[in-house]
């Protein structure tokens, strides 16, 4: 079968012919109909991910068929027995296990979930990893209430957009930040009340002047400007972050946090239960993933290049 394989650091995955893997107990061979790209795939090709194994088929997200039925895959394998954190055996599909940038995949049938009926194969493939990450960071950790003000930083990325859609579905007022006016406009079309350009040094003052402050913040960047996210928090606010693309947090003012009873949650991926509950939310509110583009499976490299540029708004999907 054709597959995109991680061969070398700083090279795009190599398209090659490999054998369809053999299966073990509880496993199935499924045919991949659509897959989607995550930042994780890009970081792996840059060598910026732990426990890399050369020769691995990349790709964490997939919509697949088996025996005439269509499924989406929960890519979080071996979460473990407590909801609070993942076990030592936790791993994400697509490294070190073979992933979805291939024609076929072997997967434990535990991780197959019936595709939501309101989604196309491509939309379904866009959902799993970013969807469950957003669900846990937003819904499980910050427990947003109807009418609360939620700020989503860096809108345009997959997790940020799902967090926005989930918050809107739950009746929250959503605000966004971005480095691009164009992305802010697109977020407003999807339901955001307002957006702020984070390169504007006065954006926090502007937000406070506009709406007073926010009750929930969802961030994937951290870095030296994390303190800006604290400044805009109302008393009792919750901040949840699922990444740290801007690096270490500096200059964080503890008084701002303890005096206002603020909680800060680190969150990554999600449990099997989070995945099930995320699917329920998506089905209940008929949420459709925001898709930047659908590329043919032959054009996986174009997807990687587009993600490197950072211009996408929504998921980059491959139709197999």
**134 contacts a copy of itself (rule: CB under 8 A):** no
Question: Which residues have C-beta within 8 Å of that of residue 245, sequence separation ≥ 6?
Answer: 39, 220, 221, 222, 223
Report, in Å, the least distance between residue 232 CB and a copy of itself: 15
**119 contacts a copy of itself (rule: CB under 8 A):** no
Report, in Å, the least distance between residue 266 CB and a copy of itself: 3
Question: What distance in Å separates the CA atoms of residue 18 and residue 150, rounded to the nearest whole number?
Answer: 46
Q: Which of residues 69-88 bind a copy of itself (CB under 8 A)?
A: 82, 84-86
Question: What distance in Å separates the CA atoms of residue 115 and residue 99, rounded to the nearest whole number?
Answer: 18
**267 contacts a copy of itself (rule: CB under 8 A):** yes
User: What does residue 299 show for φ and ψ, rounded to 5 degrees?
Assistant: -110, 30
Decide whether 247 or 296 has the Cβ nearer to a copy of itself: 247
Report, in Å, the least distance between residue 86 CB and a copy of itself: 7
Q: What residues form DSSP beta bridges with 32?
A: 64
Decide whether 23 or 252 has the Cβ nearer to a copy of itself: 252
Whether the Cβ atoms of residue 54 and residue 97 lie closer than 8 Å to each other:
no
| Angle at alpha carbon of residue 148, lines to 145 and 152, rounded to 5° | 105
**65 contacts a copy of itself (rule: CB under 8 A):** no
Question: What distance in Å separates the CA atoms of residue 281 and residue 224, rounded to the nearest whole number?
Answer: 34
**51 contacts a copy of itself (rule: CB under 8 A):** no
**263 contacts a copy of itself (rule: CB under 8 A):** yes
Whether the Cβ atoms of residue 138 and residue 174 lie closer than 8 Å to each other:
no
| Position among 43, 49, 265, 285 found at the interface with a copy of itself (CB under 8 A) | 265
Nearest in space to 167 (alpha carbons), one of 188, 147, 189: 147
Q: Using CB under 8 A, count the residues that bind a copy of itself.
A: 33
**248 contacts a copy of itself (rule: CB under 8 A):** yes
**268 contacts a copy of itself (rule: CB under 8 A):** yes
Helix axis angle, 128-135 to 272-284, nearest 10°: 100
CB atoms within 10 A of CB 136: 25
**255 contacts a copy of itself (rule: CB under 8 A):** yes
Q: Which of residues 181-240 bind a copy of itself (CB under 8 A)?
A: 222, 235-236
| Position among 11, 53, 143, 259 found at the interface with a copy of itself (CB under 8 A) | 259
Decide whether 5 or 230 has the Cβ nearer to a copy of itself: 230
Half-sphere exposure of 307 (CA within 13 A, CB side): 24
Report, in Å, the least distance between residue 22 CB and a copy of itself: 32
**146 contacts a copy of itself (rule: CB under 8 A):** no
Binding interface with a copy of itself (CB under 8 A): 82, 84-86, 141, 222, 235-236, 241-244, 247-255, 257-268
């Amino acid at each position: 079968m054709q597959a995109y394989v991680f061969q070398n650091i700083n090279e795009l995955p190599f398209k090659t012919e490999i054998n369809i893997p053999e299966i073990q107990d509880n496993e199935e061979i499924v045919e991949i109909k659509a897959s989607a790209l995550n930042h994780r795939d890009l970081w792996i090709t840059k060598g910026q991910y732990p426990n890399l194994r050369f020769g691995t088929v990349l790709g964490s997200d997939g919509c697949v068929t088996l025996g005439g039925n269509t499924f989406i895959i929960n890519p979080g394998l071996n979460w473990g027995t407590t909801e609070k954190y993942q076990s030592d055996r936790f791993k994400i599909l697509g490294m070190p296990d073979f992933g979805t940038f291939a024609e076929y995949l072997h997967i434990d049938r535990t991780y197959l979930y019936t595709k939501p009926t309101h989604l196309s194969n491509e939309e379904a493939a866009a959902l799993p990893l970013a969807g469950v990450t957003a669900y846990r960071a937003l819904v499980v950790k910050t427990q947003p209430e109807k009418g609360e003000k939620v700020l989503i930083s860096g809108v345009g990325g997959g997790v940020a957009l799902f967090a926005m859609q989930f918050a809107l579905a739950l009746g929250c007022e959503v605000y966004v930040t971005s480095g691009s006016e164009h992305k802010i406009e697109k977020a407003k079309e999807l339901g955001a009340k307002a957006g702020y350009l984070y390169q504007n040094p006065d954006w926090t003052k502007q937000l406070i002047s506009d709406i007073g402050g926010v009750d929930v913040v969802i961030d994937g960047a951290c870095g030296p400007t994390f303190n800006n996210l604290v400044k805009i928090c109302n008393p009792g606010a919750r901040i949840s972050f699922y990444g740290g693309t801007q690096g270490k947090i500096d200059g964080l003012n503890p008084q701002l946090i303890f005096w206002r009873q603020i909680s800060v949650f680190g969150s990554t991926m999600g449990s099997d239960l989070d995945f099930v509950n995320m699917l329920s939310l998506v089905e209940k509110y008929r949420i459709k993933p925001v898709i930047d583009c659908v590329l043919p499976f032959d054009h996986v490299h174009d997807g990687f290049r587009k993600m490197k540029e950072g211009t996408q708004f929504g998921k980059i999907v491959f139709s197999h």
